[in-house]
Amino acid sequence: MIITRIVGGLGNQMFQYAAGRALSLASGQPLKLDLTEMDRDKLRALQLDQFNIKGDIASLDEVPARQRNSIFGRIVTSVKNRSRVPQRVEKSAQFDPAISLIREPVHLSGYWQTEKYFADYADIIRADFSLKQPYSAERQRTLTMIAEAQSPVSVHVRRGDYVTNPTANSIHGTCEPEWYAAAMQNMASKIKDATFFVFSDDPQWARQNLATIGKMTFIEPQSDGRDGEDMHLMAACHSHIIANSTFSWWGAWLNPRADKRVIAPARWFRSEAHDNRDLVPSVWERLAI
């Protein structure tokens, strides 16, 4: 079996699922999800269940002993040997081709943030990430606006914990207003009648700080836990300006259009020591200012 550890926010969960799903398809083995980290995460919840994903939940005796965290899990660990499924821990953010060649049972533990792990199964992955439920009424109105625009472009402004959490801020930082202005001007110069649909977890900041370039519509976030719908609204646009965020990465990637333009920040992390060369697909544009 292929077991993939699920941890973090929605974008991270999707990378982990996609890597495991692709390896499951390539090896002909069943996929299972290790949710032990999610069980004890006080800030993040499992969000993959918004989608039509495949695979079962791994049992406690199928995951490595150090992953077991419940009282029952500790009892199981004390009376049983470790799982017979060997664990492969991600060594770096750079693509590891050896992972894609695995054909025996394995437990994957990492973030796997590159489409190189699942590009061969892109159509299947996109189908797996289709929504289970219809859009909410408010999002359906937004979808109609996007569909009626001649050249809709999603713009994602990530603030939230990138601003309020010192650790997240020190690792990621945020894209500044000047970067968004340059990206939007770049997009407007090459796409006729572009309409920018701005998605943000801090819409007030976005309204106050983004330059007015062309037609702009600010999308109000919904506090209903259905973030996958917002991601699919981004994907419904023709082109994308993404933040240094896996959430907007997936909003762009889920768009299957061959002619889409995607502009991403040249620097994904504050520190250049973080290797992110494989994170952004080569056909996307990386903009530095």
- Is the confidence at residue 253, as pLDDT, over 90? yes
Provide mean pLDDT across the span 190-207: 95
The per-residue DSSP string of 155-208 comes to: EEE--THHHH-HHHHHHT----HHHHHHHHHHHHHHSTTEEEEEEES-HHHHHH
Return the biggest CA–CA distance within the chain.
66
**Spatial CA neighbour of 279 closest among 256, 236, 250:** 250
Strand partners, 36: none
Rounded Cα gap, residues 270 and 244, in angstroms:
10
- DSSP E strand stretches across the chain: 2-5, 31-34, 56-57, 87-89, 106-109, 151-157, 194-200, 215-219, 239-241, 262-265, 285-287
Dist. CA 227–CA 222, nearest whole Å: 8
Task: Evaluate whether 274 touches 146 at the Cβ level (below 8 Å).
Answer: no
Residue 51, classed as helix, strand or coil, is strand
Q: How confident is the model at residue 161 (pLDDT cuts 50, 70, 90)?
A: low
Phi, psi of 219 (to 5 degrees): -95, 125
pLDDT of residue 41: 78
pLDDT beyond 60 at 68: no
Percent of the chain with pLDDT over 70: 88
Q: How far apart are CA 15 and CA 109, in angstroms?
A: 12
* Residues 286, 247: Cα–Cα separation, whole Å: 17
Residues paired with residue 57 on neighbouring β-strands, in sequence order: 33
Overall average pLDDT of the 149-171 stretch: 77
Q: Are strands 106-109 and 215-219 parallel, antiparallel or unpaired?
A: unpaired
Q: pTM score, two decimals?
A: 0.91
pLDDT tens digits along 79-136: 344 557 899 999 998 999 999 999 999 999 999 999 999 999 999 999 999 999 999 9
Report d(CA 225, CA 227) in Å as an integer: 6
Q: With pLDDT > 90 as the criterion, what percentage of the chain qualifies?
A: 74
Predicted local distance difference test score (pLDDT) of residue 66: 58
Q: Which amino acid is at 239?
A: S
Q: Pick the range with the lowest mean pLDDT from 90-94, 157-161, 183-187.
A: 157-161
pLDDT at 166: 65
Q: What is the pLDDT of residue 78?
A: 35
Q: What's the CA gap between 103 and 112, in Å, rounded?
A: 17
Host H or E run for residue 18: helix 10-27
Residue 73 predicted with pLDDT over 90: no
Mean pLDDT of the chain: 90
Amino acid at 211: A
Give the pLDDT confidence of 10-64 residue by residue, as tens digits: 999 999 999 999 999 999 999 999 999 988 877 788 999 999 999 999 999 899 8
